[in-house]
Amino acid sequence: TGTVTFDPGFMNTAATTSAITYIDGDAGILRYRGYPIEQLAKHSSFLETSYLLIYGNLPTPAELDSFDQRIRRHTLLHEDLKGFFGGFPRDAHPMPVLSSAVSALSTFYQDSLDPFDEEQVELSTVRLMAKLPVIAAYAHKKSIGQPMLYPDNSMNLVENFMRLSFGLPAEPYELDPKLVKALDLLLILHADHEQNCSTSTVRLVGSSNANMFASISAGISALFGPLHGGANEAVLNMLRDIQSTGMAPEDFMEKVKNKEDGVKLMGFGHRVYKNYDPRAKIVKATAHEILADLGGNDELLDIAMRLEEKALADDYFIERKLYPNVDFYTGLIYKAMGFPEKMFTVLFAIGRLPGWIAQWREMMQDPQTKIGRPRQLYTGLPERNYPER
Ligand code: CMC
């Protein structure tokens, strides 16, 4: 009621208070529950960081072990849910497969849908953490025509995901610790980012008291877009195009600056960071190391680095405060790990899951929460009469 403020894209509107993630976009600072991202990247694991985001504090070793064990116990998908994967076209993008399967979880696990029952919320938290990587790996396997393996609960979440994505039933799968560590780091960097498009979507859907599976399925759909999580796939496609056409990075930059055909430098710019994205700094620092280990495509990395170098020295990018974001280098690493481009945004979703869960839970417990219902400024016709015929 009263004055309606016009704020397209919510540039200046805080829709919630939150105690989870702190960002200072001008200073390039990101902290989860007070801990700087650089420290978590160095010392923590994805599982521990997930616990931190969801429950508010770092776990004791016993708490971490119990969280880990609970997740391991819930990795199996209902056999009927597995049938879903055969219902999509072979060339389906795994993101809509992921959002559909997560939405379907609320039909298979009807005993954990009440957003206000602590035990049920706990159960759906653990179910989602355990099953999302399995669903993701199955979407991948289906798309390449390989059989879906059963999870092996002697492995943790990230290890299991690697095995389910790359293992075959006919031979034992040997985990590569370097690969597991690299993926674990990337998942930590994606784990939360306060009120971004997908998280705001999770909150908006959840504000109607929709269950956690339904809310997070909507978040996955929001993440799919190329301006959000889809950017990591778009960056690789952009680098490939530049490589295959033999275009000089300088010429590509001219196209971007002239806004030719709406071409953007994908992986650059951010709504909040007007200084270097601290996550991109960590990824860039490790990209060389990881790519050297995994045998990544140096030529694409070279193109990426040349584009970055040019952009950072160019008035167009300087004036607009456009810096590389987390997605600029991640695709090259995912590719070197053996994931096809279509899986990149799925990996982002696995990483972002604990953040979505934490934000949804925080909202459900917050007495200030009201159903999300933005206002509008009507620009249509004034009243007119239906013609008499
Ligand atoms: N390449 C070229 N120009 C750009 C870019 C870019 N990547 N990003 C922004 N600009 C320009 C934009 O055209 C505008 O110029 P002008 O003032 O002349 O109209 C100006 O910079 C401000 O940009 P904006 O689009 O108004 O900024 P925004 O805050 O609405 O959008 C963004 C943020 C991330 C959507 C945008 O920077 C973008 O489209 N980047 C490319 C896609 C991308 O990498 N997305 C991943 C974001 S990080 C991961 C995640 O959390 O999802």
Question: What CATH number has the domain bearing residue 331?
Answer: 1.10.230.10
The reply to whether 343 falls in a domain is no
User: Which residue has the CA at smallest separation from atom 30 of ligand 1?
Assistant: 271
Proportion of the chain above pLDDT 70, given as a percent: 99
The reply to whether 389 falls in a domain is no
Q: Which of 346, 350, 303, 347 is nearest to 328 (CA)?
A: 303
Whether 321 and 355 share a structural domain: no
The reply to whether 42 falls in a domain is yes
Helix axes 118-143, 61-73, angle to 10 degrees: 60
31: β partners: 22, 36
Whether 67 and 159 share a structural domain: yes
With a 6 Å cutoff on the Cβ, whether 253 touches ligand 1 is: no
Question: What CATH number has the domain bearing residue 151?
Answer: 1.10.580.10
End-to-end CA distance of the chain: 39
Tell me how far the alpha carbon of residue 264 lies from the centroid of ligand 1, in angstroms. Answer: 8
Give the total number of structural domains in the chain.
Answer: 2
Proportion of the chain above pLDDT 90, given as a percent: 89
What is the structure's pLDDT at 43?
98
Residues involved in catalysis: 270, 327
Whether 211 and 245 share a structural domain: no
Long-range contacts (CB closer than 8 Å, 24 or more residues apart) made by 2-10: 4/375, 4/376, 4/377, 6/377, 9/271, 10/195, 10/200
Whether 96 and 60 share a structural domain: yes
Residue 15 has pLDDT above 70, yes or no: yes
Q: What is the ipTM, given to two decimal places?
A: 0.96
What is the structure's pLDDT at 290?
80
Whether 295 and 355 share a structural domain: no
By CB atoms closer than 10 A (0-12, 13-18, 19+), residue 263 is middle
What is the structure's pLDDT at 281?
92
Residue 162 has pLDDT above 80, yes or no: yes
Average pLDDT over residues 359-370: 97
Residue 296's pLDDT band, with cuts at 50, 70 and 90, is low
Strands (E), the chain: 21-24, 29-32, 35-36
Residue 302 has pLDDT above 90, yes or no: no
Average pLDDT over residues 335-361: 96
Residue 24's pLDDT band, with cuts at 50, 70 and 90, is very high
Average pLDDT over residues 201-212: 98
The reply to whether 377 falls in a domain is no
Cβ contacts of residue 90 below 8 Å, gap of 6+?
A: 142, 143, 145
Q: Report whether 189 contacts 350 (CB < 8 A).
A: no
pTM: 0.95
Average pLDDT over residues 290-306: 81
With a 6 Å cutoff on the Cβ, whether 137 touches ligand 1 is: no
Tell me how far the alpha carbon of residue 337 lies from the centroid of ligand 1, in angstroms. Answer: 28
Cβ contacts of residue 55 below 8 Å, gap of 6+?
A: none
Q: Which domain holds residue 276?
A: 231-337
The reply to whether 40 falls in a domain is yes
Whether 135 and 277 share a structural domain: no
With a 6 Å cutoff on the Cβ, whether 274 touches ligand 1 is: no
Q: Which of 16, 139, 123, 6 is nearest to 73 (CA)?
A: 123
Whether 192 and 326 share a structural domain: no
Residue 171 has pLDDT above 70, yes or no: yes
With a 6 Å cutoff on the Cβ, whether 328 touches ligand 1 is: no
Tell me how far the alpha carbon of residue 320 lies from the centroid of ligand 1, in angstroms. Answer: 9
Residue 1 has pLDDT above 80, yes or no: no
Tell me how far the alpha carbon of residue 278 lies from the centroid of ligand 1, in angstroms. Answer: 17
Among 12, 26, 192, 270, name the best residue to mutate to test ligand 1's pocket (greatest count of ligand atoms within 8 A of Cβ): 270
The reply to whether 165 falls in a domain is yes
Whether 37 and 135 share a structural domain: yes
Q: Taken in order 111, 115, 120, 123, is the CA torsion positive or negative? A: positive
Residue 34 has pLDDT above 90, yes or no: yes
Compute how many other C-beta atoms are within 10 angstroms of the C-beta atom of residue 3. 5
Range name among 20-24, 112-116, 304-308 with the lowest pLDDT average: 304-308
The reply to whether 380 falls in a domain is no
What is the structure's pLDDT at 297?
64
- CA atoms within 13 Å, Cβ hemisphere of 373: 5
What is the structure's pLDDT at 276?
86
Whether 40 and 142 share a structural domain: yes
277 CA: nearest ligand 1 atom: 48
Whether 63 and 206 share a structural domain: yes
With a 6 Å cutoff on the Cβ, whether 318 touches ligand 1 is: no
* pLDDT tens digit sequence for 37-71: 999 999 999 999 999 999 999 999 999 999 999 99
Q: What is the mean pLDDT of the chain?
A: 94
With a 6 Å cutoff on the Cβ, whether 270 touches ligand 1 is: yes
With a 6 Å cutoff on the Cβ, whether 216 touches ligand 1 is: no
Whether 104 and 163 share a structural domain: yes
* pLDDT tens digit sequence for 131-155: 999 999 999 999 899 999 999 999 9
Whether 167 and 294 share a structural domain: no
Name the phi and psi angles at 129, rounded to 5: -60, -40
The reply to whether 10 falls in a domain is no
